[in-house]
Chain A
Amino acid sequence: MYKLRPLLDGLMLTLKRFFSKPITMRYPEEKWDFPDRFRGRMVLLKNSAGATLCVACGLCEKICPCSCISVSPETGSDGKRKMARYQLDLTRCCFCGLCVEACPVGAICLGTGYEMASADKKDLMLAESILLEGSVQSEGNDG
């Protein structure tokens, strides 16, 4: 008898779980909700007019502990500084979020993207076009 006890305990647990709500998520079909401060892939923001907020001041590049950002400026048609190229090397990024903290115009934030696996390393060099994709409009921080 004493030998049967653990087995029954186990079966009991299984039976209990059998009637409770499942916690497994069917991953590709189903996805998590994100907590507010989730640290996912970076996103470059646009203002309400749809213009890139980044002015290529280079502070994110400077502060990045992994040196994974490189940004270069150009002169816009109005004679002001604007971003020409922005590249983020995901193979090195540690999602520390220092770039977000350094940015004086709030042009970059940590997004919710986490599906970053790829067979080609090149896909992990994110150019500005990818970083701006599906970019949310920033609230309150325009200009």
Chain B
Amino acid sequence: MAMIKLKINNREVEVKKGSTILTAAKKAGAFIPTLCHDERLTPYGACRLCMVAERKKPAKLIPACFTPAREGMDIITENPEIIKSVKKQLQLILINHPLDCPVCDKAGECVLQDLVIRYGITAAPYKLEVRHKRVDRESSLIERDMNRCILCGRCVRICAELQGRHEIDFINRGIKTIIGTDGERPLDCDFCGQCISTCPVGALTDNTFKNTTRVWKLAKQEAVCSQCGMACSVDLNIQNGKIRRVTAPVSDHGNIGNLCARGRFGWRAYEKSARATQPQINTDGQRKDVSWPDALSYCAEKLAYVSKKYGPESIAVLSSDCLTTEEALSYRAFLRSELGIEKIGSQTAAGYRQVLSGLLETHGASCKIGSLADLKASDIVIVAGGGAAEFHPVLKTLLNSFIRKEERELIVISPWPDFCWEKATLPIYVNPEYYDKFLLEFCQSLEGKSADGSCDISQFGVPAATFAKLVSLIHSGREITLLVVPQLFGGSAALVRLTSILHHFVKTVIPLGASVNSRGAVTRAEFFTARKAEASNDSGNENVLQKIKNGNIKALYLLGDDPLEYSANPQEIEILFSKLELIIHQSPYLTRSAKFAHAVLPSAVLPEKTGSIIDMWGEEHIIKAALLPPPGVKTDADILFQLQNLWKNNSAVVKNVPANEIISSALLPPARLQYDRKQFPFMMTAVPSIYGDGIISRQSPEMQKLKGSLKIVMNADDCEKAGIADDASVHICTPYGEAKGIAKLSVQVRPGNILVENIPGNAEGLRLISEQVSAVPANIRLAGGES
């Protein structure tokens, strides 16, 4: 990158060619007032506050945020002319701005307030009758007070440019201009709150924060968001040990100041009211509150008993990958050395682990798992699978910035029109019914096994020309980053295969769908080690449920995970659970498994822990405890420490248990379902929700409210034929089960397809799916009516 030199207030600075004067001034440490500028966005030049002048022409003012710096410029940022102009500009803005700082939640961090004070504006020479504008208090999470808006356009631009949502825009003209939605309806969007984060005044404010305190009473604590594998940096705004809101710091890390709905508004999941705070044990059907030492010695004793009686193979561990790396390491060490357990599975991050283990297996240590920098530097991004941005919403901002540069390609192969698919330069829609088949076919054509790429690709719904373009782009020799998006509920065997084949053609592979410390748990703590000899796809958990089904497992240790809320057919698992000798439910939350658990151990959430995690890009974050755990809660590290102490005493006591051979009794043979395709004319795909499907997001009242019940998205024409209106309550049935939900019409969804959101955590919804296939046949009828 060529550099240029210029002078700002007589100080020489060197900046990249193409940088603006504002960037140079920042580097020189000079202050320039700005209102419409946001580093995350392309310069706009609307507020005319950032005026500077060249020394030779002091009266010719130029906007610094918008003007590129030139070699040899000699800029002054303050002279009488400039100050006069800034003051005038501020006075003009104030004509239309109510002075309601006392009741405005922005006061204290309002850019306009700061500038008015800095420039000493005391008089208001211009008078105009102020028009009352709309205040939107109906939208959830975001309040829009258009009286305070200064029309800088930052919210409009961030929503369009970074979030790609285009939810809000300027409406009306002249003095009536406001920022609004079409038809002035309440917001119905991603609720990422990016618009709040950029608004320089208090026109857009956070409803969860509104009227709770004042900004100067908050202490910002650095932390990471624990609601998905992106692990975005956040600032917890804390007052008296209580989170009041979450904001995003502008950091060097990838997500410069960007957050999604979960990260910004989902913090109530960390509050005491959402949490389990009392250790309990369940003996002879009686659940009772016990002290920590009692609960732990019970666990130690029972674990020792089961392991002596049935051998180490009979204990399974499932983690939700929210442990810090240090905790993960010590759990693994304990489980391996004391109990002989080799693998720690995960249900929440099952898809991620499946893809990763596939890669590690075929390519070993040389596999090219990438980082954020790789993604940014590549020419082509291939997203294999649907729901990338729904799993990790901040990915939207990254991909939107990625494709804004010229000559870049975003290829998305998806069985449903997700966000990335709509933004792709080469969107490839695959009929969900043949999605797995298509992937296998694609593998073969890449391996050169099938005659030629064109074979009978059309049956998958993919035009031959599109496919040819895909193949040619893959072979183009440009730098490719592959993002692999697993299905919400496993069934990604074909995807795993495709990943390991595409691995040859790409620069880096990044599996998505990770929990906050999935990558740390796998790469650092080796929760599972992929060895060639083992059965493929053994990501540690597949077998757990299967083994429970086969009766091989006698004890289950849940480290934050909950198979009852995240796997197909929970009713069947419930029956299996009641047959187990020991279930330890160690989690911050009382999720459904707690009902069946023999011991409930309330553990801490990530902001209450100290340690490190590795996000899905491979970056390590050091985290410091920002909150105190509520009384009665221990961190996972503490729990293990005490458990280990008790273990030493207990394992001696439970020495002479007669060893029992486990009799593998297949309790429930895998059902081969027979059904008539005519009965199920639709294909249903379980899709992730942008408001989060993970355990933490599900505990947040705000996210839960946004998600609502089971959401059944259908093609508008299909709905019309079936007489289903938008928001109608409908029944959906598949060969596996039936559930009730709310119908949503969509023009993007292809006819014949149904997308179902919010399945995780929904017992009825989980009955609809199968973990073996990516899409299941389904039918739909109005609730109350006949089929």
Contacts and interface: CB of A to CB of B under 8 A. Distances in A.
Q: Which of A62, A79, A80 has the most CB of B within 10 A?
A: A79
A55 B213 contact: no
Contact of B213 (A73, A75, A82, A104): A73
Interface in B195-219: 210-214, 216-217
Interface in A47-65: 55-59, 62
Contact of B101 (A75, A79, A82, A104): A104
6 contacts: A57-B103, A58-B216, A59-B102, A62-B214, A72-B213, A82-B211
Given A80-B103, A81-B103, A104-B102, A58 B211 contact: no
Interface in A33-90: 55-59, 62, 72-75, 79-82
B113 to A, nearest CB: 12
A72 to B, nearest CB: 7
A96 interface: no
Nearest to A75: B211
A104 B102 CA distance: 7
Nearest to A81: B103
Q: Which 6 A-B pairs have CB atoms at the shortest separation, nearest pair first?
A: A57-B102, A81-B103, A58-B214, A75-B211, A79-B137, A73-B211
A108 to B, nearest CB: 13
B211 to A, nearest CB: 4
A81 B137 CA distance: 13
A73 B214 CA distance: 9
Contacts of B211: 56, 73-75, 81-82
A75 B210 contact: yes
A80 B102 CA distance: 11
Interface residues of B, number: 15
A11 interface: no
A75 to B, nearest CB: 4
Contacts of B135: 79
Nearest to A74: B211
A103 B374 CA distance: 54
Contacts of B214: 57-58, 62
B367 to A, nearest CB: 53
A64 B767 CA distance: 61
A62 B216 CA distance: 9
B103 A55 contact: yes
Contacts of B137: 79
A73 B244 CA distance: 13
B457 interface: no
Nearest to B145: A79
Contacts of B101: 57, 104
B213 A57 contact: no
Contacts of A59: 102
Nearest to A82: B211
A105 B99 CA distance: 12
A73 B102 CA distance: 11
Given A75-B210, A79-B137, A105 B216 contact: no
A105 B217 CA distance: 21
Nearest to A70: B217
Contacts of A62: 214, 216
A101 B349 CA distance: 58
A81 B202 CA distance: 13
Contacts of B103: 55, 57, 80-81
A104 B98 CA distance: 14
Contacts of A80: 103
B107 interface: yes
Contacts of B105: 81
B754 to A, nearest CB: 39
A72 B239 CA distance: 12
Interface in B618-671: none
A73 B105 CA distance: 11
A105 B102 contact: yes
Contacts of A74: 211
Interface string A96-112: 00000000110000000
Nearest to B216: A62
Given A74-B211, A75-B211, A79-B135, A55 B216 contact: no
Contacts of A72: 212-213
A55 B210 contact: no
A55 B213 CA distance: 12
Contacts of A75: 210-211
A24 B224 CA distance: 70
A75 B210 CA distance: 8
Contacts of A58: 213-214, 216-217
A57 B210 contact: no
Contacts of B216: 58, 62
B240 to A, nearest CB: 11
Given A57-B214, A79-B143, 7 more contacts: A56-B211, A57-B101, A57-B103, A72-B213, A75-B210, A79-B135, A81-B102
A73 B135 CA distance: 20
Nearest to A103: B102
Contacts of A104: 101-102
A104 B101 CA distance: 9
Nearest to B138: A79
A38 B269 CA distance: 51
B544 to A, nearest CB: 47
B102 A55 contact: yes
B183 to A, nearest CB: 21
A59 B102 CA distance: 8
Nearest to B105: A81
A134 B212 CA distance: 28
A59 B210 CA distance: 17
Interface in A107-134: none
* Among B102, B135, B210, B212, residue most surrounded by chain A Cβ atoms (within 10 Å): B102
Contacts of B213: 58, 72-73
Contacts of B210: 75
Nearest to B143: A79
Contacts of A57: 101-103, 107, 214
A105 B107 CA distance: 15
A80 B143 CA distance: 11
A105 B101 CA distance: 11
A71 to B, nearest CB: 9
A56 B102 CA distance: 8
A38 B751 CA distance: 80
A124 B372 CA distance: 59
Interface string B96-137: 000001110101000000000000000000000000000101
A79 B217 CA distance: 22
A75 B103 CA distance: 10
B157 to A, nearest CB: 27
Nearest to A78: B137
B78 to A, nearest CB: 30
A56 B104 CA distance: 11
A96 B107 CA distance: 25
A13 B589 CA distance: 86
Nearest to A54: B102
B244 to A, nearest CB: 11
Contacts of A82: 211
A76 B318 CA distance: 46
B217 A73 contact: no
Contacts of A81: 102-103, 105, 211
Contacts of A55: 102-103
A131 B417 CA distance: 60
A79 B212 CA distance: 13
Interface string B482-494: 0000000000000
